[in-house]
A and B are shown apart, each in its own frame.
Chain A
Amino acid sequence: MTLIMVVDDDQDLAEMLGIVLNGSGFEVDLVNAGDQVMTIFNAHQPDLVLLDVMLPGLSGIEVCKLIREKSMVPIVMLTAKGDSYDVVSGLEAGADDYMVKPFNPSELVARIKVRLRRSGVESSTTLRIGDIVIDQVAHTIIRNGKTIPLTRLEFDLLVALAKEPGRVFTRDALLSEVWGYQHADDTRLVNVHVQRLRAKVEEDVDNPQVVLTVRGIGYKAGTSQA
């Protein structure tokens, strides 16, 4: 069974989320306060975390950073504000995706499923991007024999680019490919995650070789230097 940790101070909402997620076949851990998150997280090792931004004790953004220090588990933020500041700081803290309240429950479930999807399973080939080797079976990326840890979303993003080396991806295309969005123009998701990904895979962040920016359009894979 897939275990989802729901962190929300509103007990009724948490319970409702539990009912909906149970109905979709997930197991649910309910946590009400930010400072309890890490204890329960360490004990249960959930497959995905649903995290409210506004939490008593420890803010959702702080919690997000704490989880990211330990784990690459997918994190979806729940925010009551569509405000740019909240969203961007959540994404920069390591959240993979976010949902603005009040959200459609079926959309929430769909997003959770996208985040839990095993992207590399259907293919066993090895991909190359820049001087990085992607092993889709082992779900790891290697540069010069060294493994670089990535979140699942970052891995998906890299694979999406590496699969079609010549193609220039618009931000919208990446949103639909990696995040599963149909109609969305929230490019902040793409921008923030490309920055996070570059921080991990580029040798020189100011002069990227792996994820290249195509001005005015989007991104494309760096050519293999082998």
Chain B
Amino acid sequence: MRFVGVKWRSSILFRVMMTTFFLSIILISLVGSILFIQISNGIIREKTTESVSEAQSLYDYSQGQLDATLYLPSLKLPKVVAKILQASDLAIPTTPREVVLLGSPRVHQTNDKFNGSSGGLDQSSIPQDLRKKTRKSGVAQWVRGTVTFSDGQKKSAIIVGNSIEIPSQLPYELYYVFLLTEQQTIVNFIGQLLILAGFLLIIMIGGVSWYVIRQVINPVRDAAEIAEQLTAGDLNRRMQVIGQDEMARLAISFNEMAVSMQQQISRLENLSRLQQRFVSDVSHELRTPLTTIRMASEVIAESKEKMEPAAARSAELLQSQIARFESLLTDLLEVSRFDASASILELRETDLKTLVNQTIDQLQLSDHEQIRTDFPEEPVFASVDPRRIERVLRNLISNAIDHSEGKTIEITIRQSLREVSVGVRDHGIGFTERESERLFDRFWRADPSRSRLRGGTGLGLSISLDDAKLHQGTLKAWGVPDKGANFVLTVPKAPGIPIEGQPISANPNDESSTTFLMFDEDDI
């Protein structure tokens, strides 16, 4: 049944075939039944007319014979009655018939002296209704019914009855029973013929509709197939245009759509290629002069001692601003690489504990900035791009230091079976809910008046988020004004497996995450 349901929904051919099939069965059986009833009625009617007139002449003859016993003494009544009851005597050989002679019932008297029947026919087979009608009217009455023989056989028949007078006897009724055996055979045969014809018709209608539907469906199927191939990236596929009918029009518009799609895609591809090209050109063109400037500034800075104080300070400023310019350029290029989807992950099995420690070392922090670390004892390996993850960590940690107001920063690493989280928590100025919405925007700063302690470019968090996404990971932030902030980076341990949960929740007050955590640690 499920197969039928699926087919019904997925295939027009199947649906139309099924509908055609059932509708034609209903129609054909209706027409067949009407035909069958008409034909069989016709046959029976003819037989009835024939039987009634035959019965009439037999009756006349029998009455004549009985009347003759009155003036022809040689004719003995019992013999005549016996002769009447020999049905075959006057029979046309092809029409089988039986005779029943019954005395009309009388109150307080028995009247069955001459009762009898031919061929072992059960006398009670004659319906009482017919007998009543026969007794009342004076003319022949008939009915269709079933008669029973002494051997138990039942047969369909036309029973024609009339009153008959037996001399010096009470009234009798004479019934002729015309068996419908032959007619039944004919009717059965016609019925079988009709059923056979019906079957053949249904099959032929099925075949024709299958053929016709296929003519309509095949181009649609082709179109679907080609659309699938187009979707899969084979942009050169087209439909065949045959003739000038509706299907040809479908094919033509389909192909036009494919062409326009291909043009759009190649235009976009071109744009993206141009963009990447532009990025790499800008990269080269800006970097070469910047290298020269940087070297020049270093050479100048080396002879600072020999300069006047103003010139020496200028040399220092030149140096630091070149460094800032450089990191801005690097970040901008990184951003445009992300925008052009030209970023590539260079994955490597990395111990995140080592990576975090390295990052902290490289920040070369002064003493008052306290960092507390909370790492699991076992190594925390994950397949990541160490350059990118280090960049994210550097960003998060230096952001935390900038906003911690000298309070302790906690760095936590937790792992589950599939993912690793690094949390960076500070207890500094934090941020409001509204600020949190813009946190990852480019060049956005929480408070423009705050000094740029570490000379961030304003692109750090945006790039970090892109880096996390490139790893199919997440970067989540939580913050409350004056209570601090918490940033949690979560990446999958193996590439291509999207993360399912976070070993560390972004909200440090989230109790449920703690239980989740403990569960995971037990699990490992």
Residues of A participating in the B interface, judged by any CB pair closer than 8 Å: 10, 12-13, 16-17, 19-20, 23, 54, 80-81, 83-84, 101-106, 183, 185, 187, 216
Contact = CB atoms under 8 A, between A and B. Distances in A.
A106 B390 CA distance: 24
Contacts of B288: 10, 13, 80, 101
B257 interface: no
B345 to A, nearest CB: 11
Given A20-B299, A23-B299, A81-B283, A103 B291 contact: yes
B145 interface: no
B296 A16 contact: yes
B331 interface: no
B358 interface: yes
Nearest to B325: A102
A81 B337 CA distance: 12
B434 to A, nearest CB: 37
Contacts of B293: 102
B291 A102 contact: yes
B165 interface: no
Nearest to B349: A216
Interface string B262-285: 000000000000000000100110
Given A16-B296, A81-B280, A102 B348 contact: no
A185 B283 contact: no
A23 B110 CA distance: 158
Contact of B291 (A83, A84, A101): A101
Contact of A105 (B280, B298, B386): B298
B292 A13 contact: yes
B344 interface: yes
B358 A105 contact: no
A183 B391 CA distance: 13
A121 B302 CA distance: 33
B358 A183 contact: yes
For B288, B294, B326, which residue has the most chain A Cβ atoms within 10 angstroms? B288
A80 B280 CA distance: 9
A170 B283 CA distance: 32
Contact of B292 (A12, A104, A183): A12
B289 to A, nearest CB: 7
A13 B292 CA distance: 5
7 contacts: A10-B289, A12-B289, A16-B291, A80-B287, A80-B288, A81-B284, A83-B280
A102 B287 contact: yes
Given A16-B291, A103-B294, 9 more contacts: A12-B289, A16-B295, A20-B298, A54-B284, A81-B284, A101-B290, A102-B293, A183-B362, A185-B386
Contacts of A80: 283-284, 287-288
Contacts of B290: 101-102
Contacts of B390: 185
Nearest to B326: A102
